[in-house]
Copies of this chain bind each other. A is one copy, B any other.
Amino acid sequence: MMKRIPDVVVRRMPLYLRAVEDFARREHEVVSSQELGDWTGLTPAQVRKDFTFFGEFGKQGIGYNVKFLRQQLREILRISENVHVGLVGFGNLGRALAHYLIDSHVTDNPEFGSPDKLRVTAAFDVDESIVGTDYRGMPIFHVDRLSEIVHEHGIKIIVIAVPARHAQAVATKCAEAGVKAILNFAPVTLNVPDEVKVHHTDLTLELQSLAFYTA
């Protein structure tokens, strides 16, 4: 029964969640694959097919119950439980990311009943002038304590926002500490064991590939 779920499908699930939360906010009771498709820019067939990887959430002739679908998606993405995120690198980019993550609806969506439990609970840096301080209640540790704190806080995901030359060392440490997933903002290809999932966001690569289309 447990078919392997393609990565592309997993990447679309949060988008469906965002869509269904919007329908919920607008107090729709049900939503069709057609409506979800319009909202996300995908085909209705794709929406339905994607869902089948995880189960049968709809009713034929009717559509999907918004509340039920929302809950299912939250469970699939595990944001109905607590997922702790660590942030390594508290320079310019790191601070901007922390600001965004702590303020935005990612970490808290209170007007809407159920706050996300995807939480940035610790930051790491090497700069002694900020190690030991707090950012909006989030403690900043020295990177040397990464492994220790990852275990203590049960951190599962690490966001890497350090300079390129340090990124691989941090990634290796993360892998050793048992981190499950890494979101890498440094402009280097990371080498980690297969069991660690890596997503890479690279401003340089994005801009350079867009430059191709400026003809």
A interface list, Cβ under 8 A from B: 10-11, 13-15, 17-18, 39-41, 76-79, 83, 85, 92-93, 95-97, 99-101, 104-106, 118, 156-157, 159, 180-183, 187, 189, 197, 199, 201, 203-215
| Smallest CB gap from A78: residue in B | B211
Say which residue of B106, B210, B212 sits within 8 Å of A204 (CB atoms): B106
Using known A-B contacts A209-B77, A210-B197, determine if residue A97 contacts B180 with beta carbons closer than 8 Å. Answer: no
Given A78-B215, A181-B210, 17 new contacts (CB under 8 A)? A10-B212, A15-B189, A15-B205, A18-B204, A40-B189, A77-B209, A92-B99, A93-B99, A104-B187, A106-B207, A156-B214, A157-B210, A157-B211, A157-B214, A181-B213, A197-B213, A199-B206
